[in-house]
Copies of this chain bind each other. A is one copy, B any other.
């Protein structure tokens, strides 16, 4: 842990303080996880840089799922209700979590937001759209069943190598905005796969475009498989 933040390593703040913070987060995450297992909800922690296309991905997911899955979302942002508004317009019941100046969601924030959810009845999938940040959210377990990182083709091929903690802990990386590839002659999906293979124990990259819908069906298949793995064929 660093001296400024729960996300680094270093000096001034004592190790004990950081351990207390993370231990407290782990307890809240375990509570969330038990709740979702009991309710048969697949909770997804969706992370990525600002502008990686996380909200657009969820909009496209709702379009493609076409009511087959009951979706809901928490939208984490420093300020504004914009992402939650976009998601509600896409027929995903959604709640904002505004963090002020905090750089990530934590399990207690998520728990508080779920005390009185605006959706009624059971849901199949809960997306927690984290604050746009490739560093700090990686450290905070929210109790999720799946950790998903959105990486856009415009961010460059070296991001997995430069932000290894985030990619090391991901279950799947979604390569977003592939409709922009014609204007990016220097970007190669194979080189992104190579970079991922250096930092991700079981590399899995799904290229897709929220705008054109390309690749979205593979992403839905992945979510289905994750649901079967957790809860069997229901």
Contact = CB atoms under 8 A, between A and B. Distances in A.
Contacts of A103: 2, 5, 7-8, 103, 133, 135-136
Interface string A173-204: 00001011011100000000000000000000
A163 interface: yes
A145 B68 CA distance: 55
The prevalent SS among residues of A at the interface is: loop
A94 to B, nearest CB: 15
Interface in A113-138: 131-136, 138
A8 B106 CA distance: 12
B162 A101 contact: no
Given A77-B162, A154-B51, A102 B9 contact: yes
Number of this chain's copies in the assembly equals: 2
Interface in A79-97: 79-80, 82-83
A156 interface: yes
Size band of the interface chain A makes with B = 35 or more
Nearest to A98: B162
Contact of A134 (B6, B99, B132, B138): B132
Contacts of A184: 180
A7 B193 CA distance: 32
A13 interface: yes
Nearest to A82: B158
A139 interface: yes
Interface of A: 2-10, 12-13, 17, 20-21, 24-25, 49-51, 77-80, 82-83, 99-104, 106, 131-136, 138-140, 152, 154-156, 158-159, 161-165, 177, 179-180, 182-184
